[in-house]
């Protein structure tokens, strides 16, 4: 059973929130971080990366990966399938 989880592909974020953030624990609808360094210094309005904190996303939802591996983004920065 554990081996199945290790070998399984990670889930993708849903199309409504296609970008993975917070190590894949959350998904965000936009590719740009909020510009609010008072919330978190990383919230500087630049492009998201998977390691960025969830506080920089205005509309984050929790990843629903059933294999406990976190989610990956649906699309890359150019809007192409990841």
Rounded-to-integer distance, Cα 12 and Cα 26, Å: 11
pLDDT at 29: 93
**Which H or E run includes 7?**
helix 2-7
pLDDT 10s digits, 24-75:
999 999 989 999 999 999 999 999 888 889 999 999 999 987 677 889 998 7
Higher pLDDT, 20 or 75: 20
Rounded-to-integer distance, Cα 48 and Cα 82, Å: 14
| 74, 18 Cβ separation under 8 angstroms | yes
Start-to-end Cα distance in the chain: 28
The reported pTM is: 0.78
Please give the radius of gyration of the chain, using alpha carbons only, rounded to the nearest integer: 13
Does residue 2 have a pLDDT over 60?
Answer: no
pLDDT at 39: 92
| 46, 36 Cβ separation under 8 angstroms | no
């Amino acid at each position: 059973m554990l081996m199945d989880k290790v070998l399984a592909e990670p889930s993708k974020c849903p199309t409504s929130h296609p970008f993975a953030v917070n190590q894949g624990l959350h998904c965000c609808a936009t590719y740009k971080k909020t510009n609010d360094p008072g919330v978190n210094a990383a919230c500087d309005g630049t492009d998201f990366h998977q390691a960025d904190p969830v506080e920089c996303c205005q509309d984050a939802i929790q990843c629903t990966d059933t294999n406990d591996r976190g989610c990956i983004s649906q699309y890359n920065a150019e809007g192409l399938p990841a």
